[in-house]
Structure 1
Amino acid sequence: MSNRKHADALNIRKLIREAEGLSDELLLTCARLKQAMIAARQNPEVPVHTGQAALMRLNQAEGDALAMSTSLLRVHDELSKVARVHAGDDPGVETVIPSAALGHEQAAGSARIVEEAVS
């Protein structure tokens, strides 16, 4: 592999891992935020419904963050395919991402449920 290709591959590998790490950090931070919000409303001086709308929005944000994480895994998978074609002679460690992690099985399951509902 040429020096330019090798440098590009190393940079892309570093950046995709960084993006995946930031995505995981976002999920962890949202979980800690939710925990703090629920703990705060357990105060006897706070009405039980306080912050419910914010919790619902946070749940939506967590779902969006998880979808982004899945999309990044798909990007990583596609980049791995590109690397096999364009850097096949590089002895680096191949990244194998299971289909289940990419949401392929979930999508197939959803399609099957829709088909069954229509039938």
Structure 2
Amino acid sequence: MPMTLPAAEARIRREVPAAEAGIDDALLQTINLMATVLAARRDVGASADAGQAVLMRLAKTQNSLIEAQCGILRAHSELRKAGEIHGIGDDGTCPPSAIDGYKIAA
């Protein structure tokens, strides 16, 4: 059975913030892991190069997650534009970058 416009609107309004929060949660977890690795290295008296490859991979992961945040914000902005075309207004959950046309990193 095809999805109706009101059903699609309701699902999108739930799923966009959930996707944004999921990326935030993943980024926070990688930041916490990096902090733990650094603290462990310091606290056990390991050399400065111990775990460096891990830290570099975590930094790349964090960068990828930040790029993903930009992607979901761009998608949010495009969904908002599509909503305007179809007469669906913003319910106040759109981030300023999606509302006010702030440039989001490409």
Do both share a fold (TM > 0.5)?
Answer: yes
- Which residue of 2 is the match for residue 11 of structure 1? 11
Shift of the alpha carbon at 1:73? 0.3
TM-score normalised to structure 2 length: 0.83
TM-score normalised to structure 1 length: 0.74
| Counterpart AA for 2:6 | H
What percentage of aligned pairs have identical amino acids? 28
- Which residue of 1 is the match for residue 61 of structure 2? 61
Gaps of 5+ in 2: none
The structure number with the bigger radius of gyration is 1
Residues in 1 aligned to 2:23 and 2:83: alpha-carbon distance in whole angstroms: 23
Residues in 2 aligned to 1:45 and 1:92: alpha-carbon distance in whole angstroms: 53
Shift of the alpha carbon at 1:34? 0.6
SS state at 2:13 partner? helix
Report how many residues are paired.
99
Change beyond 3 A, Cα 1:82–1:43: same
- Which residue of 1 is the match for residue 91 of structure 2? 93
Instruction: Map 1:1-119 to 2 at 5 A.
Output: 4-86=4-86, 88=87, 90=88, 92-93=90-91, 95=94, 97-98=96-97, 99-100=102-103, 102-103=104-105
Gaps of 5+ in 1: 108-119
| Counterpart AA for 1:93 | D
Shift of the alpha carbon at 1:79? 0.3
Q: Verify the 8 A CA contact 2:80 2:90 in the aligned structure 1.
A: no
